[in-house]
Amino acid sequence: MGKKIMLQGTASNVGKSVLTAGLCRVFKQDGYSVAPFKSQNMALNSFITKEGLEMGRAQVFQAEAAGIEPVADMNPILLKPSGNHRCQVIVRGKVREDMSSSDYHTYKPELSKELKTIFEKFSNNHDIVVMEGAGSSAEINLREHDIANMGMAEIADAPVIIVGDIDRGGVFASLAGTMLLLSEEERKRVKGVIINKFRGRKELLYDGVKMLEEIIKVPVLGVIPYSDIKIEDEDSVTTKFKTKMDKNDVHIEIIRTPHMSNFTDFNIFETQEDVSIRYVDYGEVLGNPDMVIIPGSKSTIDDLKYIRENGIEQQIKELQKRGKLIFGICGGYQMLGNKLKDPYHVEGEVDEFDGIGLLDNETTFEKEKVTTQVEATIHDGLSGYMANLGGKKVKGYEIHMGKSKIGENVNDLNMINKKLEENVNYAEGSVNKEGNVVGTYLHGIFDDIDFTRGILNNIRTQKGLEKIQSRVTSFDEFKQKEYDKLADLLREHLDIEKIYKIMEDHENTKK
């Protein structure tokens, strides 16, 4: 079994996911076979592996940083909230069942046994496993049957580093308080702490760091400055959704619905220098965007009700009449159709619900979830914002419960050429005749720079602006450079040698 280290936090959104990715990159650069692992992840952002299995997005970008293919066992338990204190429980990439929070808590001991087997097998395949906790290390009300933080550290017999976020304030108290609330055995596992997201003069922290070390009896392994490195953030309490509307040429507005999923689909736009993005939140209205995106959803009908009741549906229709581009992905695609039918009551008690009606199709929800990776080619002869995109290659993954049947008044968006690495040939997605309403099930379709830049340049042409080339020629290459920047940052501000020693000493004590 390989070495391991576990990053836990004083709270959610302290930066555990990004620091885990950074350590994966550092160890990879140093020549080790390294992999991320998070026993339990609660998120609506998910990914489909090459085997058709579902996992959290955080472990995907951590795997990218480690230079390996993501597999579901990196995130063996994924919880997808579905409202009313219930969640869909996904184990090793497959849906097990929907559970209430109390039922899930009772189910944890059984999952704990599975996790031990999964982790032992997983760890044997790598020199180092960088583990990530969930939320806070010191949730004393959830200590019994914990499988996310210290419970998982015990299952894996892993040393722990606790991360605190100084940007939100109170970092010394949160780190000291976390240590205070841990049991004596749990405190023995903690070998150091990290202060993350620091802004200002580091020397002003020296006295506080020294006093903290005297109180908690473990070293501060580093003070990591706040950085502008563009690493994917899938945390549910992310600050990504704060309004950002720069004076750029192309304005995109994304509707932030209550059950929005896979907002990482839109990270690519942040790399395009002529694009500004605004997430339209509750109580807000659409402005005058060039493109409106309706994202994926864990509860399509509920999110469509939200859009309708808040007046956003009518605003979308008015923007479409004015020639603006409306783009729906997955649940957003389903909403744009004429009807949503739910004969098996997958989403609730309603048998049928009217869609927005901007695409001539209707969706029927089925009992089985579609989970697949695909590669596709954009159809020739599309008009409007899809003009001149024929033949471009795109790829992505599908996660949805419904199937959409298209009518006569739309064109197919693309042809799927490969599904789970097998050759196929069938149509997917819809485009209206005018070419300004588009829908697809493909999460990640925008990651293809050539396709996305084509749409953006068609918008520019409509506005009388010259087409431009992207400075980023490959989104994957862009991300790899960002992972290297992150590794450089950690090498400069984190005691990497001490972390190696923590892992080595822990292994030696077991011999």
For 310, counting Cβ atoms within 10 Å of its Cβ (0-12 exposed, 13-18 middle, 19+ buried), the class is: middle
Domain boundaries, the chain: 3-38+112-231+480-509, 250-462
Of 330, 379, 400, 493, catalytic: 330
Higher-pLDDT residue of 49 and 236 is: 49
From residue 499, give the alpha-carbon distance in Å to each of 176, 368, 412, 446: 20, 44, 53, 38
pLDDT at 2 over 90: no
pLDDT tier at 245, thresholds 50, 70, 90: low
pLDDT in tens, 455-477: 999 999 999 999 999 999 999 99
Q: Which SS3 state, helix, strand or coil, does residue 129 take? A: strand
If you average pLDDT over residues 377-396, what whole number do you get?
97
Of 126, 379, 400, 443, catalytic: 443
The per-residue pLDDT for 237 is 40
Residue 68's contacts (CB-CB under 8 Å, 6 or more residues apart) are 33, 34, 35
pLDDT in tens, 124-170: 999 999 999 999 999 988 888 899 999 999 999 999 999 999 998 99
pLDDT at 236 over 50: no
Q: What is the DSSP string of 408-467?
A: TTEEEEEEEEEETTEEEEEEEEEEETTS-EEEE--BTGGG-HHHHHHHHHHHHHHTTPPP
At the top level of CATH, the class of 3-38+112-231+480-509 is alpha beta
Q: How far is 457 from 473, CA to CA, in rounded Å? A: 15
Residue 203's contacts (CB-CB under 8 Å, 6 or more residues apart) are none
Whole-model pTM: value is 0.92
Q: How far is 437 from 360, CA to CA, in rounded Å? A: 10
CATH number of 250-462: 3.40.50.880
Nearest to 444 by CA among 230, 252, 267, 201: 267
pLDDT tier at 67, thresholds 50, 70, 90: very high
Nearest to 353 by CA among 399, 310, 305, 314: 305
Average pLDDT value for the chain: 94
The H or E element containing residue 24 is: helix 16-29
The per-residue pLDDT for 511 is 63
Residue found under tokens 């980023």: 472
If you average pLDDT over residues 21-48, what whole number do you get?
96
Whether residue 506 lies in the annotated active site: no
Whether residue 443 lies in the annotated active site: yes
The per-residue pLDDT for 246 is 64
The per-residue pLDDT for 234 is 56
What six digits make up the tokens of 24? 């994966």
pLDDT at 173 over 60: yes
If you average pLDDT over residues 56-65, what whole number do you get?
96
pLDDT in tens, 191-212: 999 999 999 888 889 999 999 9
pLDDT at 396 over 90: yes
Q: Do domains 3-38+112-231+480-509 and 250-462 have the same CATH topology?
A: yes
Q: How far is 429 from 170, CA to CA, in rounded Å? A: 49
Q: What is the DSSP string of 53-97?
A: -EEEHHHHHHHHHHTS---GGGS-EEEEEEETTEEEEEETTEEEE
pLDDT tier at 509, thresholds 50, 70, 90: confident
The per-residue pLDDT for 379 is 97
If you average pLDDT over residues 106-120, what whole number do you get?
94
Q: Which SS3 state, helix, strand or coil, does residue 28 take? A: helix
The per-residue pLDDT for 451 is 97
What's the full length of the chain, in residues? 511
Q: How far is 46 from 321, CA to CA, in rounded Å? A: 34
φ, ψ at 237 (rounded to 5°): -110, 30
